[in-house]
Amino acid sequence: MELHVVSVGNSLLRHWSQTALGAHAPRMQDEDQWQRMLDDPAVLQQITAYLTENPETRSAEVRSLTAYMREHHLHPHDVAVYLVGTRTASNEIVRQALVRYLRACEFAIYHPKTVSGYFADTPCTHRVDAFKRGMLELLQHLIDITHHARREYAQIVFNPTGGFKAHVIVVALAAFMTGCPLYYIHEEFAELIEFPPMFYVPEPQEVQCLHEIARSGTIDVTKCPEPYLRRWIDFGLVEWLETKPPFRQLRLTARGRALLHLYPE
């Protein structure tokens, strides 16, 4: 079973409000109005029904998740979904509607994680700090969740589809730092885009060299293939054995060893 960490935006709510409310639709920052709708079970039922009628068109999150599942021949019972959003009433409406829809489709659901949003109930002078703090807390949370979930799931996959730009960046960064694959639907040509763990695809000779370093423990820098050395250092796959110049010996890092697990000999 796979765990999909999906960032949630408000595309569903925008589509519904434009259709159902037209010119009377609240702005996304009108938290008081969205809170009243969140507290009204009838509104949430309407939005869930609206989503269910045409889920892939009306929800970017469902569209990307469904595309990935088709590509990998997965069924709902093969996937658990962890929805990550912001601490705003508008986003909570979307998440609750998605949870209802996904459960009806027989997906397993992780309880959604909330983080501070732009329109949290804090003084204006503190909103920027609250947002940055929320993003940092989210990053650490996603890393912790990934380490914990690896005991239970065969694979963890990140889907940074929805949310603010910083939100998407943090979810993608968490995927990179934890060595998890990532996917989304490209905005222009509407195709599924998948990135490998660590955003790194080594060449066959490169994999062979890294395995040789793993067996020997270290390698002299003069014996490192020139095309690969800079990439290995930039991606944190190797580190210097010495703590001060001259630097001559390299060894694999934990990230380098993790990459080799994905490319066995």
Confidence at residue 107, expressed as pLDDT on a 0 to 100 scale: 95
**pLDDT range class, residue 119, cuts 50, 70, 90:** very low
Mean pLDDT of all residues in 102-109? 94
Mean of the per-residue pLDDT values for the chain?
A: 87
Distance CA 97, CA 228 (A): 47
pLDDT at 208 over 50: yes
Reduce the secondary structure of 69-82 to three states and give it as a string: HHHHCCCHHHEEEE
pLDDT at 206 over 50: yes
Considering the entire predicted model, what is its pTM?
0.82
pLDDT digits (tens, 9 = 90+) for 73-82: 999 999 999 9
Q: For the chain, where are the E strands, in sequence order? A: 2-7, 79-86, 108-115, 155-159, 182-185, 192-195, 219-220, 238-240, 249-252
Domains in the chain with CATH codes: 2-199 (3.40.50.10770), 204-262 (1.10.10.10)
